[in-house]
Amino acid sequence: MLSSDLLTKLRKATITVKTRKRGMHKGVRKSPKFGSSLEFSDFRAYQPGDDLRQIDWNIFGRTQKHYIKRFLDEQEIKTAIYLDCTSSVISIDSKWERAKQVAAAFSYLTLTSEDKLSFLPVASKDGKLISRKGAVHAKTVLYEIIHLQADSKPEPFTECIQKQFLRDREFCILITDGLEPIEQYEKIFKKLAAVKGDVWFIQLLSHEEEQPNYIGDLKLIDSETAKEVNISMTGKLIEEYRKKLREHNENLESLCKRLGFQYLYTTDAKTIDEIMWKDCNHRGWIK
């Protein structure tokens, strides 16, 4: 679970997004557009089709003209959080737990901000779409995400997510290890970019994946394909692996920047508090 101290901080925090769309219901973010909140702005002349309940009858009594009250509405963001539940994530316990914590923290923050949440456990056999709005659901959703079972379909993240895209979401968070070919991410990124919303890509690896310390003759098994390969692990081979991983991650970050997405790289060596209040807060993602 998440600590009570972290939950208290999240209840006081807000997610900072620059989405160009807005929902029809109230959240807790001020929008420069006019709507129906209780914060008064000014008046405008009545037009056919306007809500008659918004007519200011005091002004009508003085001028014999119909004027509509204008208010500053509060912006609701439709948020989709996609959590990678493929074998490459769930096969390492610490990585899986941290990924769930990140998803749970952002889901909790979304709901306590009175925004609309759609949580999608990508490639999970039993996990279902969770669609909720409002702080009243925050703790229940948090519990559901933290207790997701480690049971996945034998499909890559980049294939599964395309079947679960929600095209009306203004803000998307993807939480994955990002270890599939760059070309596959480019395909899904272009589809996300077409929605013209904010996208945050959180790449989370295990410390073991980032800094392997194996030496000697080993049998490596691909957690998603079950393919086996026998290798002799040497210091030189590990250094080559690290180099290729850095290049892959740099290409992934460059792809995100090119499409206007936000990118964050982290590992399970960091606590959830460090990820939220150092990595995300320092980037201005949450305040």
- One-character DSSP codes across 29-85: EEEEEEESSSEEEEEEE--TTS-GGGB-HHHHHHHS--EEEEEEEEE--EEEEEEE-
pLDDT at 83: 98
Across 199-204, average pLDDT? 98
Q: How confident is the model at residue 124 (pLDDT cuts 50, 70, 90)?
A: very high
- For the chain, give the mean pLDDT: 86
pLDDT of residue 232: 80
Instruction: Let me know if 34 is exposed, middle or buried by CB neighbors in 10 A (0-12, 13-18, 19+).
Output: middle
Task: List the domains of the chain with CATH numbers.
Answer: 29-74 (no CATH), 76-282 (3.40.50.410)
Confidence of residue 70 (pLDDT cuts 50, 70, 90): low
pLDDT confidence of residue 152? 86
Residue type, 68: I
Tell whether the model's pLDDT for residue 275 goes beyond 90.
Answer: yes
> What is the value of pTM for the model shown?
0.81
Q: Is the pLDDT score of 143 beyond 60?
A: yes
191 CB neighbour count, 10 Å cutoff: 12
Judge whether 282 and 8 are in contact, CB under 8 Å.
no
pLDDT in tens, 86-110: 999 999 999 999 999 999 999 999 9
* DSSP-derived secondary structure letter, 168: T
